[in-house]
Amino acid sequence: MQNKSFFTILLCFFGLIANAQLKNDTKSFVVVLDAGHGGKDPGRPTSYGYKEKDIALDIVLIVGKNLEAVSGVSVIYTRKTDIFLELRERAAIANKADADLFVSVHCNAHDSQAHGTETYVLGLHRNDSNFKVAQKENEVIFLEKDYEANYEGFDPSSPESFIGLTLLQEDYLDQSILLASTIQKNFTETLKRKNRGVKQAGFWVLHNTYMPSVLVETGFITNKKEGDYLNSKRGKIEVSKSISDAILSYKSIANPNIDIQKPPISTSFETANIIFKVQIAASSKKLALKPYNFNGLDVLSRQKNGKIWRYFYGETKDYNQAVAMKEEVVSRGYTTAFVVAYKDGDRISIENAVKN
C-alpha cells in the first residue's frame, strides 16, 4: 500500500509541472548547481582519505565561478559550505528559482579499481549496475528527519519504487540527454577520461525537479589514480571547466533566447536538402498524432530513438519560418520547444544547418 501512496503523491505533481513550464522568456539563464552530500553525509567511502562531499563542493564552486563570468547567466547553489541538505530541499531550491538547468555533482565509488566518468539522467535503471549507483546515492534519505513521511512509499532498495519517478521528468528527457552527452564529450575528448557513457537511473534528487536535470559522476575516488586527480587542484579546475563549457554549449543550442534561435537578417533562409522542425516533447509513451494530444497543434510527426518517442511540429526548408513555428508552439504552452534540423534524413546541429 505504501507504493500506492507514493504514486498518488506523484500524480499531484503533474499540475505543478504544467504550470511551471510557463516560464518568463525575458529572464536570465538560471543554473542551479548542486554539490552532492555534505555535513553529516560525507558521501561514498574510500580507503584513500578522499571525501566526496569536499571534492564535489570544490568542483561546483569553480563551475559556478566560470558561469558567473558570462553575461546573461545566473547561478544558484544548493550549498556553498559543508552543510547537510535533504534531497527534497535540493530540488525545491531549483524549482523555487524557476531554473533552466539543475546539475548535481558527485564522485563515484566501487569495490574494484573501476574508473571513468558517467553522467545520469532520470529514467528506469537499465541494468543492475545503474540501479546500484542510484540506490547508493538515494540512501541519504535515511539520514533525514521524518524521512518516512517526506518520502512516503519510496524505498531506495526496491526497484518498483523507481517506476513512478520517470513520469515527472519525461518532458525534459531530451534536453537532459543533450546536456549529459555534452558533458561526457568534454570529459572524453578534452580531458581524455574514460567514457562510461550517458545513463538513466532513478535518482530521487533528479525526479522532483521540473527542468532539464543531470547528475555527474566525475570519477571514482576508490581508484587511487583517479582519486588523486579529482582531489588535486588541477583535476578540479579541468573537470569544472568541462562541466561549465558543456552548460554554455547547451545554452547556445537549447535556450530559446540565444542568437542562434533568432531569425537571420535575410528575409528568406532556405537550405538545400535540410528540413527544419520544432521538437515539442519527448516521452516513452506513443501518442496518437492528434490535435487533442498536443494543445491543438495539427501538423505533427514523431520519431522513435531507442525507447523514447520524440514529437515534432511542422516541417520547412526556411529557418525563419521554423523560428516562427517555434514561437507558435511556445504560445501553446510548450516553452521548452526548440528548432531541430535534418539533412538527408539525418539530424544535424542548427549551427551546421545555418552554415550550409
Q: Is 29:73 a contact under the CB 8 Å cutoff? A: yes
Give residue-wise pLDDT tens across range 183-211: 999 999 999 999 999 887 666 656 677 78
User: Measuring CA to CA, which residue among 129, 152, 138, 119 is closest to residue 203?
Assistant: 138
pLDDT at 44: 79
Indicate left, alpha or beta for 335 from its phi (over 0: left) and psi (-120 to 50: alpha): alpha
Segments of 15-97 assigned E as strands:
29-35, 73-77
Q: What is the CATH number of domain 264-355?
A: 3.30.70.1070
Does residue 78 register a pLDDT over 90? yes
Q: How confident is the model at residue 174 (pLDDT cuts 50, 70, 90)?
A: confident
Q: Is 309:227 a contact under the CB 8 Å cutoff? A: no
Provide mean pLDDT across the span 11-28.
Answer: 44
**Greatest alpha-carbon span in the chain:** 64
Q: Which amino acid does the sequence have at 211?
A: M
Q: Count of CB atoms within 10 A of residue 190's CB?
A: 13
Which grid cell is 138?
Answer: 538515494
Provide mean pLDDT across the span 304-323.
Answer: 85
pLDDT at 161: 40
The pair phi, psi for residue 219, each rounded to 5°, is 150, 175
pLDDT at 183: 96
Q: How confident is the model at residue 255 (pLDDT cuts 50, 70, 90)?
A: low
Provide mean pLDDT across the span 323-342.
Answer: 83
Q: Quick one: DSSP state of residue 228?
A: H
How far apart CA 53 and CA 34 sit, in angstroms, is 11
Q: Count of CB atoms within 10 A of residue 267's CB?
A: 8
Does residue 323 register a pLDDT over 80? yes
Straight-line distance from the first to the last Cα atom of the chain, in angstroms, rounded to the nearest whole number = 57
Residues 6+ apart with CB under 8 A from 273: 343, 344, 356
Does residue 96 register a pLDDT over 90? no
Does residue 79 register a pLDDT over 90? yes
Does residue 128 register a pLDDT over 70? no
6/82: higher pLDDT: 82
Which grid cell is 241?
Answer: 571547466
Question: Rounded to two decimals, what is the model's pTM?
Answer: 0.60
Look at the domain 2-254 and name its fold. Answer: Aminopeptidase (3.40.630)
pLDDT at 269: 40
Give residue-wise pLDDT tens across range 6-18: 444 444 443 344 3
> Could you identify the residue written with the cell 547547451?
250
CATH 3.40.630.40 positions along the chain are: 2-254
Segments of 234-353 assigned E as strands:
274-283, 300-305, 308-316, 338-343, 346-348
The pair phi, psi for residue 28, each rounded to 5°, is -70, 165
User: Measuring CA to CA, which residue among 97, 106, 54, 107 is closest to residue 77?
Assistant: 97
Which grid cell is 149?
Answer: 513521511
Q: How confident is the model at residue 237 (pLDDT cuts 50, 70, 90)?
A: very high
Provide mean pLDDT across the span 225-239.
Answer: 96
Q: Is 270:355 a contact under the CB 8 Å cutoff? A: no
How far apart CA 318 and CA 294 sit, in angstroms, is 23
pLDDT at 310: 85
Provide mean pLDDT across the span 155-180.
Answer: 58
The pair phi, psi for residue 55, each rounded to 5°, is -65, -45
78/291: higher pLDDT: 78
CATH 3.30.70.1070 positions along the chain are: 264-355
Does residue 324 register a pLDDT over 50? yes
The CA distances from residue 144 to 36, 134, 140, 200, 264, in Å, are 15, 17, 7, 25, 52
Provide mean pLDDT across the span 139-157.
Answer: 43
Provide mean pLDDT across the span 14-29.
Answer: 48
